[in-house]
């Protein structure tokens, strides 16, 4: 390899592994060396372009904030521009406007993609941007949408809540209530009063100590009345059973 002819590009052979550089020892110029390396080890941009465009097509705002959504799109667009640059005019001082037209088409595609991925909360401002003539560039469109979000924060005192964020907030609020366990019913037969040894209550609720409430006295009176005053059915039954006995006694007395 002619060191004088590749002096300006000496970083190229110095960056190649020793076992590989031996294959290019007879390359005359840096340009020829670069071309050889590109042809032998260069990879096609096709798979990378496919992956980037696939990711762009699936990118929507969703649960992301407006700024995070826009920044993600910008990053993907910049990566795509590195492998698919806008074609430039080769006629020197361009008078046909082909380069400018290509740039406008690409910028319009980015604008449409940005608007398509916005959440439904921005439907109004999205419609306004689409009917504007001429259409704003991507940065101006982002500024318009951002102003709508800021105005909403002023009016309602909080940023726009996405459906997923609202669901998470609801679950967080309702969560503790869902995990509350009901206490099992207490078997009063297992309660023993330490005051006088009866079952059914504890000493802390003993009426002998605390005093009998009015409703308890009324309930006891009702029980007494039910025991002392027989029901109509009981009176009728007693009358039917006593009647044959009375007739039998009368017959015995006559004999």
81 with 35, same domain: the answer is no
64 with 159, same domain: the answer is yes
Q: Could you tell me the pLDDT band of residue 7, with boundaries at 50, 70 and 90?
A: very low
160 with 55, same domain: the answer is yes
Are the beta carbons of 137 and 111 closer than 8 angstroms? yes
Omega of the bond prior to 134 within 30 degrees of 0, cis?
yes
182 is a domain residue: no
Are the beta carbons of 50 and 16 closer than 8 angstroms? no
Does residue 31 or residue 19 have the better pLDDT? 31
Residue 145: count of CB within 10 angstroms of its CB? 20
Per-residue pLDDT, 179: 47
Per-residue pLDDT, 55: 94
155 with 50, same domain: the answer is yes
95 is a domain residue: no
The angle that helices 98-116 and 66-83 make with each other, rounded to 10 degrees, is: 140
Query: What b/e sequence results for 165-191 when a residue is b if at least 16 CB atoms lie within 10 Å of its CB, and e otherwise?
Result: eeeeeeeeeeeeeeeeeeeeeeeeeee
Domain extent for 221: 191-254
171 is a domain residue: no
Per-residue pLDDT, 17: 62
Q: Which residues contact 3 (CB under 8 A, 6 or more apart)?
A: 10
Q: How far apart are CA 116 and CA 61, in angstroms?
A: 9
Q: What's the domain count of the chain?
A: 3
Q: How far apart are CA 112 and CA 151, in angstroms?
A: 23
12 with 81, same domain: the answer is no
53 with 148, same domain: the answer is yes
173 is a domain residue: no
50 with 36, same domain: the answer is no
52 with 36, same domain: the answer is no
Which of 216, 213, 119 has its CA nearest to residue 166? 119
Q: Which of 164, 180, 201 is the last residue of a domain?
A: 164
Does residue 119 or residue 208 have the better pLDDT? 119
The angle that helices 66-83 and 46-57 make with each other, rounded to 10 degrees, is: 160
138 with 64, same domain: the answer is yes
55 with 105, same domain: the answer is yes
224 with 115, same domain: the answer is no
Total-model pTM: 0.47
Q: Which of 148, 164, 180 is the last residue of a domain?
A: 164
119 is a domain residue: yes
109 with 129, same domain: the answer is yes
Sign of the torsion formed by the C-alpha atoms of 128, 129, 132 and 136: positive
130 is a domain residue: yes
For tokens 């439907």, the residue is 123
User: What is the C-alpha radius of gyration for the chain, rounded to an integer number of angstroms?
Assistant: 47
Q: Could you tell me the pLDDT band of residue 1, with boundaries at 50, 70 and 90?
A: very low
For tokens 């029980």, the residue is 223
29 is a domain residue: yes
147 is a domain residue: yes
Are the beta carbons of 32 and 80 closer than 8 angstroms? no
* 147 has pLDDT over 90: yes
């Amino acid at each position: 390899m002619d060191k004088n002819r590749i002096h300006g590009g000496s970083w190229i052979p110095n960056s190649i592994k020793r076992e590989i550089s031996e294959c290019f020892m007879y390359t005359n110029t840096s340009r020829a060396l670069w071309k050889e390396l590109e042809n032998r080890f260069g990879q096609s941009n096709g798979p990378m372009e496919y992956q980037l465009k696939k990711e762009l097509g699936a990118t929507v705002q969703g649960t992301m904030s407006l700024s995070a959504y826009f920044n993600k799109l910008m990053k993907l667009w910049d990566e795509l521009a590195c492998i698919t640059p806008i074609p430039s005019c080769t006629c020197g001082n361009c008078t046909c406007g082909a380069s400018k037209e290509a740039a406008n088409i690409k910028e319009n595609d980015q604008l449409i993609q940005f608007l398509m991925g916005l959440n439904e909360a921005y439907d109004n401002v999205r419609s306004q941007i689409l009917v504007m003539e001429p259409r704003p560039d991507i940065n101006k469109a982002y500024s318009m949408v951002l102003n709508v979000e800021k105005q909403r924060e002023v009016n309602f005192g909080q940023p726009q809540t996405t459906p997923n964020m609202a669901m998470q907030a609801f679950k967080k609020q309702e969560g503790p209530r869902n995990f509350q366990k009901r206490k099992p019913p207490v078997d009063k037969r297992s309660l023993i009063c330490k005051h006088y040894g009866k079952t059914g209550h504890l000493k802390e609720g003993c009426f002998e100590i605390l005093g009998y409430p009015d409703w308890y006295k009324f309930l006891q009176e009702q029980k007494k009345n039910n025991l002392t005053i027989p029901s109509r059915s009981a009176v009728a039954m007693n009358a039917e059973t006593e009647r044959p006995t009375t007739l039998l006694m009368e017959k015995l007395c006559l004999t």
